[in-house]
């Protein structure tokens, strides 16, 4: 069997990450009832201060500062892209120490805390994915998340799983730009208002421009408002929160990070203060603290519990000022340090969801040598072809198995015994096996010549592809539903995923 293996960086994902929401800054004025101008100073190098009048009429303006704290300190902790990593592993800490860390912060009465998520919390580990995020949602309730912006991977099991988790979550899901059948998604809301020490905080959440990162079979009714339209919606919501709801602080939690493209910055040029005070981002798993031309910080805390975003807001109610101190990210040696005791919640949830110990950690078989991502997806492509031939080979001449295949962190497999959990972690996607029909010209262009696809060819059947003829291939549902590929779906095996094929293969005789 001739195999063509062409692995490169997953182009589609990279493109999705790099797509930035297009720019429109609408002048406008969000000062509303604000009693004065605001000035903002500070540089990228350290702490930033926002000074000037921030007082507003309404309930806040009429409050007597003497009856409450005159200076209110609020610490924001924002987790993104945890990807279900609840348990300690070789590559990242679990969330038990972080839970202890947050409870210690809550116990400190000198400051107030707000814990948020910028999305992609559920999918990724067998412990979380096997219950579609239910376990993770319970943990988020326990540790006190106040809101979660939905990420693209929250859609990995379709919208139904989000609806289910929304029923159990004691905090709202946010997504100002998520439309289902043209209407705002019923399972999330544009923003939430919180209060700490008499300070009102508006939190706006948005999905980025990441529709193509969701399997096409779940996106028929789904649309994420983007570009100038999204900018406008966020500006409007921020103005409403400040002017109608008298929020002192407006925070923006955006699943897709802007990285280097700050085109869409939400500025109010009249006052010099952004429509939002800070942006917490996610999706690319990068760590950064950047400041845009309007002085608004953009922070992302990596992913997989390696780091979390952090910023302290100091609200001076007497002098009507809001300052941001120490914006940036905390690495897990701070919040998961060995000096922190393990909160029992992880063990409690594991016992609840996996009462008969964790069957996923039974040894399947022995892997003789180190396997790179390339080696793993080449094997998966071959297993696709073999399974396809077994299921459909009598009725269809299948020429190829494979498609857009990649692994997730830690991406590769070391030599030694393998468990289902090991294989699940690198192949977490719930993508069904599909028999597809494709025109020869598309087969050549979209598969055989596509460097980001990994293919296993059936004998020499791909040697002389006729561009006008149709062919049968075996791919996963992400590849099959990706509209650019022009695949007609002929049949599918529901519930059979790449990780299952590889696990069965390893369990049979090990990986020699």
The binding site for Zn ion (CB under 5 A) comprises: 120, 151-152, 283
CB nearer Zn ion, residue 155 or residue 472: 155
Closest by CA position to 448, among listed 486, 406, 377, 400: 400
Tell me the Ramachandran region of residue 120: left when phi exceeds 0, alpha when psi lies from -120 to 50, beta otherwise: left
Q: How far is the CB of 208 from Zn ion (least distance, A)?
A: 8
CB 285 → Zn ion: shortest distance, Å?
Answer: 9
Quick one: 271 or 305, whose CB is closer to Zn ion? 305
Name which of 283 and 439 has its Cβ closer to Zn ion: 283
Contacts of 272 (CB under 8 A, 6+ apart): 37, 38, 39, 40, 294, 295
Residue 447 DSSP class: I
Asked if residue 474 lies in contact with residue 496, where contact means CB atoms within 8 angstroms, the answer is no
302 token code pair: 């990596």
Nearer to Zn ion, 210 or 234 (CB): 210
What is the tally of helices (H) and strands (E) in the chain?
A: 14, 27
Q: Which residues pair with 191 in a beta bridge?
A: 204
Cα 331 from Cα 119, distance rounded (Å): 18
What's the number of CA atoms in the CB half-sphere (13 Å) around residue 71? 7
Rounded to a whole number of angstroms, the minimum distance from the CB of residue 153 to Zn ion is 6
Quote the CA–CA distance of 505 and 271 in Å, as a whole number: 63
Task: Tell me the closest approach of the beta carbon of residue 122 to Zn ion, in angstroms.
Answer: 11
Cα distances from 31 to residues 41, 51, 236, 267, in angstroms, run 18, 14, 12, 12
Q: Which H or E run includes 12?
A: helix 11-18
Nearer to Zn ion, 72 or 230 (CB): 230
Residue 132, classed as helix, strand or coil, is coil
- Which is closer to Zn ion, CB of 17 or CB of 247? 17
Nearer to Zn ion, 304 or 505 (CB): 304
Residues 6+ apart with CB under 8 A from 357: none
Phi, psi of 274, deg, nearest 5: -65, 160
Tell me whether residue 303 or residue 388 sits nearer to Zn ion (CB atom): 303
In whole angstroms, what is the distance from residue 154 CA to residue 80 CA?
12
Question: How far, in Å, CA of 57 to CA of 246, rounded?
Answer: 8
Residue 207 backbone dihedrals phi, psi, to 5 degrees: -75, 145
Q: Smaller CB distance to Zn ion: residue 209 or 320?
A: 209
Nearer to Zn ion, 92 or 382 (CB): 92
Secondary structure of 354-421 in HEC code, one letter for each residue: CCCCCHHHCEEEEECCCECHHHHHHHHHHHHHHHHHHHHCCCCCEEEEEECCCCCCCCCECCEEEEHH
Q: Closer CB to Zn ion, residue 226 or residue 283? A: 283
Measured from the CB of residue 80, what is the shortest distance to Zn ion in angstroms?
8
Minimum Å gap between C-beta 251 and Zn ion is: 19
Task: Answer for the pair 126, 425: CB distance below 8 angstroms, yes or no.
Answer: yes
Instruction: Give the nearest distance from C-beta 2 to Zn ion in angstroms.
Output: 36
| Residue number, nearest CB to Zn ion | 283
């Amino acid at each position: 069997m001739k195999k063509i293996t062409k692995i490169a960086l997953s182009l589609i994902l990279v493109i999705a990450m790099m797509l930035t929401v297009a720019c429109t800054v609408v002048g406008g004025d969000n000062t509303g009832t604000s009693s004065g101008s605001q000035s903002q100073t500070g540089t990228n190098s350290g702490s930033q201060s926002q000074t000037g009048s921030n007082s507003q009429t309404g309930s806040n303006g009429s409050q007597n500062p003497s009856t409450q704290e005159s200076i209110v300190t609020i610490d924001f902790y924002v987790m993104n892209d945890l990807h279900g990593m609840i348990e300690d592993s070789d590559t990242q800490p679990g969330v038990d120490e972080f839970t202890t860390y947050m409870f210690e912060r809550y116990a400190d009465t000198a400051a107030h805390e707000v814990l948020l998520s910028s999305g992609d919390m559920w999918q990724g580990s067998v412990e979380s994915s096997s219950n579609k995020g239910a376990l993770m949602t319970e943990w988020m309730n326990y540790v006190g998340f106040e809101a979660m912006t939905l990420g693209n991977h929250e859609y990995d099991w379709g919208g139904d799983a989000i609806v289910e988790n929304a029923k159990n979550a004691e905090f709202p899901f946010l997504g100002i730009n998520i439309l289902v059948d043209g209407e705002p998604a019923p399972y999330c809301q544009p923003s939430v208002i919180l209060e700490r020490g008499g300070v009102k905080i508006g939190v706006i959440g948005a999905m980025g421009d990441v529709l193509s990162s969701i399997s096409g079979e779940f996106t028929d009714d789904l649309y994420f408002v983007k570009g100038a339209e999204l900018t406008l919606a966020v500006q409007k919501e921020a103005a409403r929160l400040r002017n109608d709801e008298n929020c002192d602080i407006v925070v923006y939690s955006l699943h897709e990070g802007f990285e280097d493209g700050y085109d869409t910055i939400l500025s109010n040029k009249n006052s010099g203060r952004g429509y939002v005070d800070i942006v917490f981002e996610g999706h690319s798993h990068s760590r950064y603290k950047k400041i845009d031309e309007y002085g608004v910080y953009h922070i992302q805390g990596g992913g997989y519990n390696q780091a979390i975003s952090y910023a302290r807001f100091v609200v001076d109610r007497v002098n009507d000022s809001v300052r941001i101190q120490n914006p940036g990210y905390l690495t897990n040696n701070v919040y998961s340090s060995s000096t922190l005791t393990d909160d029992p919640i992880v063990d409690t949830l594991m016992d609840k969801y996996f009462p008969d110990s964790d069957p996923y950690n039974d040894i399947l078989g022995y892997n003789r040598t180190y396997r790179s991502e390339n080696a793993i997806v080449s094997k998966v492509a071959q297993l696709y072809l073999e399974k396809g031939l077994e299921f459909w080979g009598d009725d269809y001449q299948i020429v190829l198995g494979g498609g857009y295949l990649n692994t997730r962190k830690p991406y590769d497999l070391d030599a030694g015994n393998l468990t289902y959990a090991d294989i699940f972690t690198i192949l977490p996607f719930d993508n069904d096996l599909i028999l597809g029909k494709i025109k020869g010209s598309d087969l050549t262009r979209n598969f055989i010549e596509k460097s980001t696809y990994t293919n296993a060819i059936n004998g020499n059947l791909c040697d002389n592809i006729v561009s006008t003829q149709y062919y049968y291939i075996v791919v996963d549902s992400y590849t099959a539903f990706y509209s650019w590929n022009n695949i007609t779906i002929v049949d599918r095996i529901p519930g059979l995923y790449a990780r299952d094929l590889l696990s069965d293969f390893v369990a049979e005789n090990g990986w020699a």
